[in-house]
Amino acid sequence: MHTAEVLDALGALVSQLKSYAGKLPPIVHLAAVPTGVKPKLEAVEDYEEVVSRFRHQAAGTAYKGLNEPVIESLEAFEVGNLLGAVQPLLAVLDHLERMQRDKEIEVGRIDEKRLSEYRAALHKILPGNKPELDGAGRGM
């Protein structure tokens, strides 16, 4: 498994999360729906397929340590926990950057750009990343 293949899988997962996040209402009353709004079965199956393919390809490679957070992301996605699905993928990106820094893997210029694009996309999904809220909570 190469870095580009890892990033292809992450890109597919990020795309799924962006699509799901775009379909959610702006405010979900969690008392009414304690586990969030569940994604459609087809979306869960697609997500699961990417995770399964990733786990199979990562076995026996330097990337096998990424399996656990990817599975955590899947489990959170299945029940509609969007934040729980985003955080493990951010941890995967952190791990990849650490591997690059420690020279365990090589990341080309194009792949570095993909890493930063995926990180930005995941951060946009997180609450509190609305431009109209910039400066909120900082006082006057």
At residue 114's C-alpha, the angle toward residues 25 and 132, to 5°, is 40
Give the list of residues 6+ apart from residue 81 with CB closer than 8 angstroms, or none.
Answer: 35, 36
At residue 70's C-alpha, the angle toward residues 84 and 94, to 5°, is 85
Give the list of residues 6+ apart from residue 33 with CB closer than 8 angstroms, or none.
Answer: 80
Structural domain span for residue 109:
3-125
Q: What is the pLDDT of residue 67?
A: 94
Q: What is the pLDDT of residue 140?
A: 38
Domain assignment present for residue 138? The answer is no
Domain assignment present for residue 102? The answer is yes
**Regions of the chain with pLDDT less than 70:** 25-36, 128-140
**What's the rounded Cα separation, in Å, for the pair 113 and 132?**
27
Domain assignment present for residue 130? The answer is no
Domain assignment present for residue 60? The answer is yes
Domain assignment present for residue 17? The answer is yes
Q: What is the pLDDT of residue 26?
A: 65
Q: What is the pLDDT of residue 97?
A: 94
54, 70 contact by CB (below 8 A):
yes
Q: What is the pLDDT of residue 126?
A: 83
Domain assignment present for residue 131? The answer is no
| Number of other CB atoms surrounding residue 22 within 10 Å | 8
Tens-digit pLDDT profile for residues 78-97: 998 888 999 999 999 999 99
Has this prediction a pTM greater than 0.85?
A: no
Structurally, the chain folds into a number of domains equal to 1
Copy the structure tokens of residue 11.
């890109």
Domain assignment present for residue 39? The answer is yes
Domain assignment present for residue 9? The answer is yes
Give the list of residues 6+ apart from residue 22 with CB closer than 8 angstroms, or none.
Answer: none
